[in-house]
Structure 1
Amino acid sequence: MASGSTRPTSRDVAQAAGVSQAAVSLVLGDKWRGRVSETTAERVRQAARELGYRPNLAARNLRLGRTRTVLLVVPALTTEFFAGVYTGAARIAAQHGFGVVLYPSPEGIGPSRPSPTTTLKGRPLRAAPIPDPFASAQAALDGVIASSMAADALTAIRGDQLPLVMLDSDPEGSLGAATVNLDIADGVRQVAEHLLGLGHRRFLHLAADVASWTFDVRARELATRIGHVPGTSLLTVQAPIAIEGALAAAGTALSAKGPRPTAIICDDDKLAAGAYKAVRRLGLRIPDDISVTGLDDLALATAIDPELTTVRLDAELFGERGMQALLAVLEGREPEEGDIPVQLVVRGSTAPPSVP
């Protein structure tokens, strides 16, 4: 290490590794592939470790015009799934010297607006405007990763003018941005084939009352798959993604006149939990009288009884792929193609129908 308390420099690393400062910059900036050999790169990294060298990121970012900060726009911070997305994105970001800032945008709502004008003794008083934290988004951020369920907020924060990756979004209509998707259509196919294979023919689809591409895909794929089998019926009702809302919607649908569905297919595990309550309030049993499936494989899926048959979505991998795609965009590369596979997890909430 350099003498005394002097901080080691890239020149010290170059001398210790027997290479140029340019080579050190390439290796420690992770831009060495195709320019220096793997052996040289490892020699530089080893020298940096032994010297205790840490690059001056602030000065480097100033030269590059980057903040090394990414915004992740999600519908809510309290959702287990999006917590996993953040964890995965932050993990990859940290490996590349980036930080991730979370911005919750429930129902696509953008930043807070100025408070309305109020009055005092008949005289108008204008409240001070609420600062918009994204008024200078282009100066404060290097890029944005956004869920399609929060896409409406992008224009409000001008995130659509930055390097952008869309999650759970239509590849044909995502503001021209790169997209990363889970193979939701295959997940729905797996659910439908499982229930059809058990002998079910009358279905209730408890659909999320959210205007989003991913939920449109679920409804369309389910209708297509079940519609191809003779003698089937499919009733779709919408509910907010909340247990009480699902309870009300499922209870109304199951109490209607006519043959009762033998299986409930839910867009989300929370909807499935609401369906459980509705089924039991009607004096029915799961899966003896009616089967129930979910989608997400949240912790909730194994906390209810019987445990829920659902589709496992790897939220952390989803976040990792989203961040990797944004890094590719920032570096002028093509992001990895292909949807992320999903897996049906069969548990105790599904069984053959009691009545053929």
Structure 2
Amino acid sequence: MHSPEPPGGNRPTSRDVAAAAGVSQATVSLVLGDKWRGRVSERTAGAVREAAAQLGYRPNLAARNLRLGRTRTALLVVPALTNEFFARVYHGAATVAARHGFGVVLYPSPAGIGPAKDPFASARAALDGVIASSMATDALQAFGGTDLPLVMLDSDPAGSGAAAHVNLDIADGMRQVTRHLLALGHRRFLHLASAVPSWTFDVRAAALAETLHGATVTTVRAPLDVQGAREATERALTAPGPRPTAVVCDDDILAAGACKAARRLGLRVPEDLSVTGFDDLALATALEPELTTVGLPAERIGERGMAALLAVLDGREPEAGDLPVNLVVRDSSGPAPTA
């Protein structure tokens, strides 16, 4: 099919698209600005998009955004770029943003522990809003003193003064994994907890304690890296007293360290020691045996976070309710060993 040429062979304009589609320039603006629903028909919107594609038309986003008083850019703040979970959160947010003509800039808070360097001093005028995921308590200080709308992901719904919160049902995830181990006969637990002070890890600890129903638990904290987790687990498993039969880890990376500790001590997983994680990273199936863990819909929370920011910007109420999580049972958990 021959593509129509704009008059004079110059760069096509919205007037050219309107002429090719047989509609007004206002209709072109509505369709290409994603504001057409309820105003023009699906058929008309399709005709405008087809004409724009055939002409190779690209709207002047800078001029449009200047008229609208928006940059159509969101900032996503995450604790670290080295964790696969946050890459998936970004992908989900960016996918929704792209459907609405927005871009997402990724900003890592150093090591996930605060306070982060204030990202707003030089970028405030270039942003429409901020999404912050799973931030350590002190890192939230960086969000003070700005009038940009803030959406918090996996964070305390009672704090931060955010315009919206999108959370996973973290407590239910920990309850699921704990009940799974209790059903396997485990009564002596080691909780390998993250050393990072944050709401999401506090929720995990509280849910574990509430679900144990008289079983004993020893809690040790470890940095979010394999070596630190291995060393902390080795110390706990060789301490005086009855050895735990199950290690409940706040994160899959911690669980990898726990599995290494078990091997170094000559313990079999899961025959002598069950190990569980949290997040269901790719690492969970790279381990041998594969890791029982709690699957978190990382892309979905990114999608919901961006949708919530768009709702706030449009004066709408964001979608409510926590996102469900699911227990993924693999071979690292088994019946408690007999005496």
Q: TM-score, normalised by structure 1?
A: 0.87
Query: Residue 61 of structure 2: which of 57, 64, 74 is its match?
Result: 57
Query: Residue 126 of structure 2: which of 126, 129, 140 is its match?
Result: 140
SS of 1:19's partner is coil
Query: Residue 230 of structure 2: which of 239, 247, 253 is its match?
Result: 247
Does the CA-based 8 Å contact 1:137-1:159 persist in structure 2?
no
Q: Provide, for residues 108-161 of structure 1, a one-character-per-residue CA deviation record: whole Å limited to 9, x for no partner.
A: 2322xxxxxxxxxxxxxxxxxxxx764233212111111242564454365852
Does the CA-based 8 Å contact 1:74-1:150 persist in structure 2?
no
Q: Provide, for residues 170-206 of structure 1, a one-character-per-residue CA deviation record: whole Å limited to 9, x for no partner.
A: 2222313211112211211110121111111111111
SS of 2:7's partner is coil
Query: 2:337 matched to 1:354?
Result: yes
Query: Residue 282 of structure 2: which of 299, 304, 313 is its match?
Result: 299
Query: Residue 168 of structure 2: which of 152, 157, 182 is its match?
Result: 182
Tell me what 2:181 maps to. Answer: 195
Tell me what 2:114 maps to. Answer: 108
SS of 1:204's partner is strand
Cα gap change, 1:133/1:170 in structure 2, threshold over 3 Å: closer, same or farther?
closer
Does the CA-based 8 Å contact 1:73-1:150 persist in structure 2?
no
Letter in 2 for 1:284: L
Deviates more, 1:32-41 or 1:306-315: 32-41
Report the CA distance between 1:167 and its aligned residue.
Answer: 0.8
Tell me what 1:114 maps to. Answer: none
Does the CA-based 8 Å contact 1:144-1:159 persist in structure 2?
no
Tell me what 2:310 maps to. Answer: 327
SS of 1:191's partner is helix
Query: Residue 94 of structure 2: which of 90, 93, 98 is its match?
Result: 90
Alignment gaps of 5+ in structure 1: 112-131
State how far apart, in whole Å, the 2-side matches of 1:298 and 1:177 are.
29
Calculate the aligned-residue CA RMSD, in Å: 2.0
State how far apart, in whole Å, the 2-side matches of 1:167 and 1:242 are.
22
Tell me what 1:115 maps to. Answer: none
Alignment of structure 1 residues 160-309 onto 2, 5 Å: 160-227=146-213, 231-309=214-292
Cα gap change, 1:23/1:151 in structure 2, threshold over 3 Å: closer, same or farther?
farther
Tell me what 1:80 maps to. Answer: 84
Letter in 1 for 2:330: R
State how far apart, in whole Å, the 1-side matches of 2:279 and 2:139 are.
24
State how far apart, in whole Å, the 2-side matches of 1:272 and 1:318 are.
23
Q: Provide, for residues 15-72 of structure 1, a one-character-per-residue CA deviation record: whole Å limited to 9, x for no partner.
A: 3333332222112111122222323322322332233322110110111122222111
State how far apart, in whole Å, the 2-side matches of 1:283 and 1:34 are.
67
Does the CA-based 8 Å contact 1:86-1:319 persist in structure 2?
yes
Report the CA distance between 1:243 and its aligned residue.
Answer: 1.3
Report the CA distance between 1:83 and its aligned residue.
Answer: 1.5
Q: TM-score, normalised by structure 2?
A: 0.91
Report the CA distance between 1:13 and its aligned residue.
Answer: 2.4
Does the CA-based 8 Å contact 2:140-2:160 persist in structure 1?
no
Does the CA-based 8 Å contact 2:151-2:162 persist in structure 1?
no
State how far apart, in whole Å, the 2-side matches of 1:331 and 1:56 are.
22
Letter in 2 for 1:224: E
Q: Provide, for residues 304-346 of structure 1, a one-character-per-residue CA deviation record: whole Å limited to 9, x for no partner.
A: 2111111111222222222122122222222222222222111
Q: Provide, for residues 263-283 of structure 1, a one-character-per-residue CA deviation record: whole Å limited to 9, x for no partner.
A: 110000111111112222222
Tell me what 1:13 maps to. Answer: 17
State how far apart, in whole Å, the 2-side matches of 1:260 and 1:150 are.
32
State how far apart, in whole Å, the 2-side matches of 1:219 and 1:60 are.
49
Does the CA-based 8 Å contact 2:233-2:261 persist in structure 1?
yes
Alignment gaps of 5+ in structure 2: none
Report the CA distance between 1:257 and its aligned residue.
Answer: 2.0
Deviates more, 1:48-57 or 1:179-188: 48-57
